[in-house]
Amino acid sequence: TREVHLARRPDGMPVTDDFRMITTSLEPPGPGQVLVRNVLMSVDPYMRVRMAKLPSYPHWELDQVMDGSAIGVVERSEHPDLPVGTVVSHRLGWREHAVLDAGHASTVRHIDGIPLTAHLGVLGMAGFTAYVGLTQIGALTPGESLYVSGAAGAVGSAVGQIARILGAGRVVGSAGTPAKVAYLVDGLGFDGAFDYHVESLSECVATNIPDGIDVYFDNVGGGHLQAALDSMNQHGRIVVCGAIGEYNALRGQPGPSNLIYVLTKRLRMEGFTIREHMAEYPAFVARATTWLLDGQLRSTDTVVSGLESAVDAFRDLLAGRNIGKMLVRLSED
């Protein structure tokens, strides 16, 4: 079986030589454990942060297998609750097989009409992050306007759709290509969208959201945050979900020069990480499953095949070559 190790800490955009594919022998599961054949694994922006060594965030060790969300099928079981054939989600991605304690795996219930990929995307951490960010951090109320950056990605595409379901007023997103912009409006029902490769992001935001922003869902940081600050309405909220524009150059980024608007517009700006909200995850899954089944919410993903493509998938994610959730298929379900 094969797994991917971090060979050295990337400098800027990761390159192939920062990683190493290792072939290793399979351990049999011990008492209380299961052996899982991975079917799908997730690549996520936060992984770029784990490749660096920062005091504020846990890092990966060199020459060790990396980890992350995955879904697989139990092939050998030493635990009665997870018999052979059970589909489970767990945290041991970046490898073709995983041996883990049954307590570290959750059963994935098959629901007719919902693809397995959705459990790592719109029904998984990406959708949940969108939901928590909108409802708890952004406290979006019906009629309020919503602007989301990184809008065509896994979290962003869920943000716009869920905002609409929750009764938002104008919903606008920005993304990196004309095809993504078209998809946001024609495929996902955003009221407006634009390509952020423009001369003045601030003017573009103002044109697209002429009545101002009540909730800004920030996935990008940097100049995107600065442009949104210019258009924020009084008592607006800024949901600091991510800063993907800065992950390849983690230190020494200048802050927005218009941060004074937090004061003069009485804004609230709050960061969060989804891991501390897990208690509400089952309630989210129940609601989002209904939305998916009645067609209000769409599951979008970009799937590549084979563990040997996982590093490229990760690099493509950082370069914006995904629409919706970026996943790697490791075997058939």
**Chain residues in the site for ligand NDP (CB under 6 A):** 44-46, 125-126, 129, 150, 152-156, 175-177, 180, 219-220, 241-245, 272-274, 317-318, 320, 322, 326
83 or 271, CB closer to ligand NDP?
271
Rounded least distance, CB 274 to ligand NDP, Å: 4
Rounded least distance, CB 46 to ligand NDP, Å: 5
Q: Residue 325: which region, alpha, beta or left (left: phi > 0; alpha: psi -120 to 50)?
A: beta
Rounded least distance, CB 219 to ligand NDP, Å: 4
72 or 133, CB closer to ligand NDP?
133
273 or 290, CB closer to ligand NDP?
273
102 or 243, CB closer to ligand NDP?
243
Rounded least distance, CB 137 to ligand NDP, Å: 9
Write the secondary structure of the chain as one string of H (helix), E (strand) and C (coil): CEEEEECCCCCCCCCHHHEEEEECCCCCCCCCEEEEEEEEEECCCHHHHHHCCECCECCCCCCCECCECEEEEEEEECCCCCCCCCEEEECECCECEEEEEHHHCEECCCCCCCCHHHHHCCCCHHHHHHHHHHHHHCCCCCCCCEEECCCCEHHHHHHHHHHHHCCCCCEEEEECCHHHHHHHHHHCCCCEEEECCCCCHHHHHHHHCCCCEEEEEECCCHHHHHHHHHHEEEEEEEEECCCHHHCCCCCCCCCCCCCHHHHHCCCEEEECCHHHHHHHHHHHHHHHHHHHHCCCCCCCEEEEECHHHHHHHHHHHHCCCCCEEEEEECCCC
Report the C-alpha gap between 248 and 235 in whole angstroms: 32
Rounded least distance, CB 190 to ligand NDP, Å: 13
Rounded least distance, CB 330 to ligand NDP, Å: 19
14 or 245, CB closer to ligand NDP?
245
35 or 132, CB closer to ligand NDP?
132
61 or 270, CB closer to ligand NDP?
270
29 or 153, CB closer to ligand NDP?
153
Rounded least distance, CB 91 to ligand NDP, Å: 14
Q: Which 3 state secondary structure label does DSSP give 203? A: helix
Structure tokens given for 74? 């139990």
Question: Is residue 166 a contact partner of residue 237, using CB atoms and an 8 Å limit?
Answer: no
Rounded least distance, CB 235 to ligand NDP, Å: 23
Rounded least distance, CB 196 to ligand NDP, Å: 6
136 or 258, CB closer to ligand NDP?
136
CA–CA distance from 138 to each of 144, 146, 148, 165 (Å)? 11, 10, 12, 15
